[in-house]
Amino acid sequence: MSDYMTALPEIFLLSMACVVLTVDLFLKDSQRNITYLLSQVSLGLTLLLTLAYQPHGTQLAFNGTFISDLMSVVLKCFVYVVTMGVLLYSRRYLQDRGMFKGEYYVLGLFGVLGMMIMISAYSMLSLYLGLELMSLSMYAMVAFCRNSKRASEAAMKYFVLGALASGILLYGMSIIYGMTGSLNIIEISRSLAEQGSSVGVLLGLAFIVVGLAFKLGAVPFHMWIPDVYHGAPTAVTLYIASAPKIAAFAMTMRLLVEGLGSLQADWQTMLMVLAVLSLGLGNIVAIAQSSIKRMLAYSTISHVGFLLLGILAGTGEGYAASMFYALTYALMALGGFGMILFLSRKGFEAEELDDFKGLNERSPWFAFMMLIILFSMAGIPPTVGFYAKLSVLTAVVNVDLIWLATVAVIFSVIGAFYYLRAVKMMYFDAAEDQSELQPCLSFRFALSANGLTVLALGLFPAGLMALCAAALNG
């Protein structure tokens, strides 16, 4: 396959994003549905292209700076599906608030392109450029609602901290480049295996880990997450909370495992500190939140802790568990934030926990869907969250880090409290707000499918798990 064929999905999505951008200029405000449909079709076709042109085994392109392997194919497909869900869920919310503009969709597509570039990057340069493409799109989307002071503040914080994190990451990359003489991941790992660890390499590694922790939102570099998730319009929060986590996982895998794999002993300790702090702070602070957006933001931080646990185990089993966790977490976050959009209506934001009170009376079916999603985030069987946590913990126990697994379990139990409190509110409290639920049929259908997938993957996790294992060990 030629280089261009290997990167066909990226090239296609880029062209389609430009088409959407141009078509949108000629549409009246009443015809924005065309932009929406065109964006969905672009993502759907990109999904088909990715599946149709996936290489047998690993394929490198563009002088070894682009990689297409099973891991990239699986992660990309999840990114498309999750983003299609995001666009579907957010449509009515945007329409109700006068934010149903082409920019949301164009920036959303460019963000997906950034994620694809990150997932397929096999050189630090393309990895960084993909990250910047994704982040720039997300900064602009957070600031999208200009009249909201809260959103502007969130965008400002996100931009400044994100730029700082990019700077730190870039500094780490430049030190590693200085030490190894190459930007290509494969050359870096070869050179490091030869020369071993030294002060300079460790310094670069430390900067890279800090940059990654910022982007993932691990404690103590998590400060932006609650404010941004809370301040951004919920439709944008849904976007930045779901698919980018998959891309961040890919970035961590490419940089730490594939590039700096020979320094595993060094980054294992760093990730351990990050993971324990994230698990602790995320789960404990979430209890004190009254806003569900902030609560889910802190829950994200604790999930990042779990994600790091799998990676720091440093075995194929751990990486596969971590990949499984990232994929299923994206689905859970999609469902969780989707539920907030589901309950919102014109002039009303369902972003307080109290807004979920008595949901069972209003809609037993969707209360059940939310129950599945919350159970899954808490890690209660038979949902997929349980299996994801279990496989990560098994991987950690298998490398004799039993204390770490114990800490993770204790904090998960503490964390289960606030998920169960939300469940209690839905089922046992009287509804304060009895108004009819308005969402259209497609939204209802998609959210139900989302909830049921979380349940079904929990009952039959073997297929996806085998896929993750094959992707990382193949």
Partner 1 sequence: MNIEVWVFLTFSLVAVASAVRVITVNHSVHAALFLVLTFFSCAGIWLLAEAEFLGLTLVLVYVGAVMVLFLFVVMMLDVDTAPMQEGFTRYLPLGLVIGLVMVAEMVLVVASPKFSSEKLSNAVAHGADYSNTEELGKAIYTDYLYQFEIAAVILLVAIIAAIALTLRKRPETKYQKPSEQVKVKKSDRLRIVKMKSEQH
Which residues of the shown chain bind partner 1 in the complex (CB under 8 A)? 3, 7, 14, 21, 61-63, 65-66, 101, 103, 106-107, 110, 113, 117, 123, 125-126, 129-130, 132-133, 136-137, 139-140, 143-144, 146, 175, 178-181, 195, 198-200, 203
User: Would you say 125 or 193 has its CB closer to partner 1?
Assistant: 125
Minimum CB separation of residue 460 from partner 1 in Å reads: 38
Q: Measured from the CB of residue 39, what is the shortest distance to partner 1 in angstroms?
A: 14
Q: Among residues 146 and 149, whose Cβ is nearest to partner 1?
A: 146
Q: Which two tokens stand for residue 19?
A: 């088409």
Q: Which is nearer to partner 1, 177 or 427 (CB)?
A: 177
The amino acid occupying position 162 is: G
Contacts of 164 (CB under 8 A, 6+ apart): 214
| Comparison of 22 and 438: residue with beta carbon closer to partner 1 | 22
Nearest approach in angstroms of CB 190 to partner 1 is 13
> What CA–CA distances, in Å, run from 190 to 254, 261, 267, 394?
14, 10, 18, 30
Q: How far is the CB of 132 from partner 1 (least distance, A)?
A: 6
Comparing CB distances to partner 1, the nearer of 154 and 339 is 154
Smallest gap from residue 388 Cβ to partner 1 (A): 32
Complex with partner 1: residue 22 or 31, whichever CB lies closer: 22
The candidate with the shortest Cα–Cα distance to 87, out of 115, 62, 106, 67, is 106
> Cα–Cα distance between 471 and 474 in angstroms, integer?
6
Contact 317, 400 (CB under 8 A): no
User: Among 192, 189, 191, 184, which residue's Cα sits nearest to residue 65?
Assistant: 184
CA 217: distance to chain centroid?
A: 11
| SS3 call for 380 | coil
Nearer to partner 1, 103 or 429 (CB): 103
Q: Cα–Cα distance between 473 and 438 in angstroms, integer?
A: 46
- Nearest distance from residue 134's CB to partner 1, in Å? 10
The least distance separating partner 1 from the CB of residue 107, rounded to whole angstroms, comes to 7
**CA distances to 226, 236, 294, 298, 421 from 289, in Å:** 10, 20, 6, 9, 11
Closest approach, Cβ 220 to partner 1, in A, equals: 20
**Sequence-ordered alpha helix ranges (H) in 379-401:** 384-398
Residue 403 CB, nearest approach to partner 1 (Å): 34
Q: Minimum Å distance from CB 101 to partner 1?
A: 8
Q: Of the two residues 10 and 227, which places its CB atom closer to partner 1 in the complex?
A: 10
DSSP-derived letter for residue 356 is G
d(CA 463, CA 445): 24
For partner 1, the closer of residues 185 and 276 by Cβ is 185
* Cβ-proximal residues to 271 (8 Å cutoff; 6+ apart), any chain: 209, 308, 311, 312
Identify which of residues 106 and 253 has a Cβ nearer to partner 1 in the complex: 106
Long-range contacts of 198-205 (CB under 8 A, 24+ apart): 200/175, 201/175, 201/176, 201/263, 202/263, 202/266, 203/175, 204/172, 204/173, 204/174, 204/175, 204/176, 204/178, 204/179, 205/172, 205/176, 205/260, 205/263, 205/266, 205/267, 205/270
